[in-house]
Amino acid sequence: MPPSSDIATQPVEVLPDYLSRTYSWAYLDPRTVPWLDRSPVVSAILWGNAARLMRWAVAQFVPGETVLQAACVYGGFSPMLARRVGEQGRLTVLDVAPIQVDNVRRKLVGLPQAEARVADLTQRQDACFDAACCFFLLHEVPARERRLIVANLLAAVRPGGRVVFVDYHRASAWHPLRPLMGLVFRWLEPFAQSLLDTPIESLAEAASDFEWRKQTCFGGLYQLVVATRRQVSE
Ligand SMILES: C[S@@+](CC[C@H](N)C(=O)[O-])C[C@H]1O[C@@H](n2cnc3c(N)ncnc32)[C@H](O)[C@@H]1O
């Protein structure tokens, strides 16, 4: 792998079946994308936690770093990340859906350190970054694709580099929203249940090459995980 964040993405000919079947309404329909891509909507979906989860994720990166953002995120997340890495850094956003790439490019105007490309994250990326960020993607993909995505993100960071995951987690038994979230997952997010009790660390064959740090927040409903690649001499 070249030690560079210059990325040669492979053309995506067809969208993943799970995305077209399950999430067309959310990510592929030009009539709904502009309505969903609003900060109040994102905030409501995350029960008022969007801003703090985004701030937490963005704080894991350092100005001047090359960062891979795994998939587009509604709201102001990508511009926040781009401002964090600054003009000395580089943000590369990869998403499999051309409509999402066009949409995030619009939000990144005026931030020359950022670019967005169409790419399928289940495919190995031929590039090396200081860090990668995976914000609420894993619960939206089936278990097989989830393993591929985790493996590919871990493979994309240099020794000492980090992969930051923010996603759903099994809420505590007493959590007042637990029954409602159970219904949401059943009706709208059919792949989420298989993530809730599965440590992200357990999804990766290369897990032992990384040091894992995990915390949860909002009664356990969200998990924040940082995997740091060990230096070769450790
Ligand atoms: C990051 S996730 C969900 C983020 C969060 N729910 C939000 O507020 O936007 C949604 C994105 O993942 C993308 N996606 C799904 N599977 C992908 C894959 N295999 N490779 C790249 N992007 C993918 C979809 O196209 C969509 O834009």
DSSP, residue by residue, 113-182: TEEEEE--TTSPPS--EEEEEEES-GGGS-HHHHHHHHHHHHHTEEEEEEEEEEEE-PPPTT-TTHHHHH
DSSP, residue by residue, 6-39: ---PPP--S--HHHHHHHIIIII-TTTHHHHSSH
Atom in ligand 1 nearest the alpha carbon of residue 18: 16
* Confidence band of 2 (pLDDT split at 50, 70, 90): very low
CA of 120 to the centre of ligand 1 (A): 10
CA of 2 to the centre of ligand 1 (A): 26
Residue 56's SS3 state is helix
Atom in ligand 1 nearest the alpha carbon of residue 134: 1
CA of 95 to the centre of ligand 1 (A): 6
pLDDT for 13 beyond 90: no
Q: Tell the residue number behind the tokens 């350190």, with chain if given.
A: 113
* Confidence band of 98 (pLDDT split at 50, 70, 90): very high
CA of 186 to the centre of ligand 1 (A): 19
Here the tokens at position 52 are 């703090």
The four Cα atoms 10, 11, 13, 17 give a dihedral, to 10 degrees, of 40
Q: Are 75 and 45 in contact (CB under 8 A)?
A: no
Q: What pLDDT does residue 84 have? A: 98
Ligand 1 binding pocket (C-beta < 6 A) is: 16, 19, 27, 42, 71-74, 94-97, 100, 120-122, 136-137, 140-141, 145
Q: Is 228 left (phi over 0), alpha (psi -120 to 50) or beta?
A: beta
Atom in ligand 1 nearest the alpha carbon of residue 72: 27
Summarize pLDDT for 61-71 with one digit per residue, the tens: 999 999 999 99
d(CA 172, CA 14): 39
Residue 204's SS3 state is coil
Summarize pLDDT for 125-151 with one digit per residue, the tens: 888 999 999 999 999 999 999 999 999
d(CA 114, CA 136): 20
CA of 138 to the centre of ligand 1 (A): 9
* Confidence band of 10 (pLDDT split at 50, 70, 90): low
State the DSSP code for 68: E
CA of 220 to the centre of ligand 1 (A): 22
Q: Domain ranges for the chain, please list them.
A: 17-229
d(CA 212, CA 165): 11
Phi, psi (deg, nearest 5) at residue 114: -115, 145
Sign of CA dihedral 92, 97, 102, 106: negative
Percent of the chain with pLDDT over 90: 91
Q: How much is the average pLDDT of 31-40?
A: 96
Atom in ligand 1 nearest the alpha carbon of residue 73: 9
Q: How much is the average pLDDT of 179-202?
A: 95
CA of 28 to the centre of ligand 1 (A): 10
- CATH H-level, domain 17-229: superfamily: Vaccinia Virus protein VP39 (3.40.50.150)
Atom in ligand 1 nearest the alpha carbon of residue 120: 20
Of all protein residues, whose CA lies closest to atom 1 belonging to ligand 1? 137
Of all protein residues, whose CA lies closest to atom 13 belonging to ligand 1? 71
Orientation of helix 77-85 relative to helix 50-58, angle to 10°: 20
Q: How much is the average pLDDT of 158-175?
A: 96
Here the tokens at position 65 are 């770093």
